[in-house]
Amino acid sequence: MKYYIIAGEASGDLHGANLIKALKKEDPNGEFRAWGGDLMHGAGAKLVKHYKDLAFMGFLEVVMNLRTIFKNISFCKKDIEAFQPDVLIFIDYPGFNMRIAKWAKANNFKTHYYISPQIWAWKENRIHQIKRDIDQMYVILPFEKDFYEVKHLMPVTFVGHPLIDAIANRPKLDVKTVYTKYGLSNQPIIVLLPGSRKQEIKKMLRVMLSVIDDFSEYQFVIAGAPSQSEEFYQTFIKNSKIKFVSNATYDLLSVADAALVTSGTATLETALFKVPQVVCYKSSWLSYKIGKQVVKLDYISLVNLIMDREVVCELIQNDLNTKRLTKELNHILDPKTQQNVKDEYDALEKKLGGPGASQKVAKAVFQDLK
């Protein structure tokens, strides 16, 4: 069978790679063509476009790059026509993927969606497009099944969260090995996860680094995204206490005492490693104002959304400042707080449905094709 997979971000690259590996077990002769990243390429896909050329953050940034986005959409359609896949598999990235899905369905391609667009947060009217254009939907958050099936009468398959497998299956390193491998000192670690896009890194990292003088007993380590160069990060590093390690987020989280995390998938990854965290989010003034009008949620982090209560502190927009961040970081470094947070994380993991998400999706896709 021929599979065409589209992911537009680092997290989609991770889940897409694990899905390709699972599909190969079902279909050893499968042929894979993909929009994604190094992980999907390493799993055996022919890479068409890298996600680092696709990621634009916020309403204003999207508008400024509309010409590039539409050129990519046009190119993608032509590439699909040339490849003639048996199935298209979309991984999140709805602004792009829903446009391709509409065209694909009209041209009689099978359309499967793995990791639902967050229409429960905003643009709920997309449900009509999804019902029309998507043959099979696989959801990864426990509340999404009721959202689709009870509220909108659309059958979906809950497969559990793929991060559980990604973390469980990673190579394990002990603390000493991690410190030695990445040239770290013996001080305990506070890891900084400022995101994967240049726009969000610029917004978040300076504030994150502004607290280091109040935590002299810790070393601060920036977990660099594989999509960005070390030279880009070095423009923010003005202190010898700041370390930089690229493409090693899981190794760093496995030994960290605390984390400062940009809102997104990384908040859930941090929770699954049982690391206390402060969630950070700041965008342009216009993007934030527009977002407030269209996003109707009580929380922005996946941790709090899944638990439906505040498990981790969220510092949003003007609340993300040196004074508040210092206060909240002190709070999560307190041993009593750390234990409470880890207990909450255990409850969170139970709600996520257990291991095997990639295998469940692969079996369902292959059975549908057969």
From first to last of its 370 residues, what are the pLDDT tens digits of the chain? 999 999 988 889 989 999 999 999 999 999 999 999 999 999 999 999 998 777 655 555 555 666 777 888 999 999 999 999 999 999 999 989 999 999 999 999 999 999 999 898 888 999 999 999 999 999 999 999 999 999 999 999 999 999 998 898 888 899 999 999 999 999 999 999 999 888 889 889 999 999 999 999 999 999 998 878 899 999 998 888 899 999 999 999 999 999 999 988 899 999 999 999 999 998 765 565 555 555 667 888 999 999 999 999 999 988 999 999 999 999 999 999 999 999 999 999 999 988 899 999 999 999 999 8
Q: How far is CA 31 from CA 42, 86, 186, 204, in A?
A: 14, 10, 47, 40
Give the residue ranges of DSSP H helices in the chain: 10-26, 38-42, 58-64, 66-83, 94-106, 127-133, 142-146, 162-168, 175-181, 198-209, 230-234, 249-253, 265-272, 285-294, 302-307, 322-333, 335-351, 357-369
Give the C-alpha separation, 232 to 296, whole Å: 34
Encoding tokens for residue 234? 């070095």
Q: What is the DSSP string of 166-202?
A: HHHTSPP--HHHHHHHTT--SS-EEEEE--SSHHHHH
The predicted structure's pLDDT at residue 65? 63
Element (H, E) at 137: strand 136-139
Q: Which residues contact 14 (CB under 8 A, 6 or more apart)?
A: 39, 162, 166
Instruction: Give yes or no on whether 2-161+354-369 and 168-351 have one common fold.
Output: yes
Closest CA to 54 of 84, 23, 99, 105: 99
The predicted structure's pLDDT at residue 227? 78
Question: The domain at 168-351 falls in which architecture?
Answer: 3-Layer(aba) Sandwich (3.40)
Residue 11 CB-half CA count within 13 A:
19
Question: The domain at 2-161+354-369 falls in which architecture?
Answer: 3-Layer(aba) Sandwich (3.40)
Name the amino acid, one letter, at 274.
Answer: K
Q: Name the one residue in this structure whose structure tokens are 């199935």.
A: 87
Q: Name the one residue in this structure whose structure tokens are 């995101």.
A: 195
Domain ranges of the chain: 2-161+354-369, 168-351
Closest CA to 248 of 271, 218, 226: 226
The predicted structure's pLDDT at residue 265? 86
What is this structure's pTM? 0.81
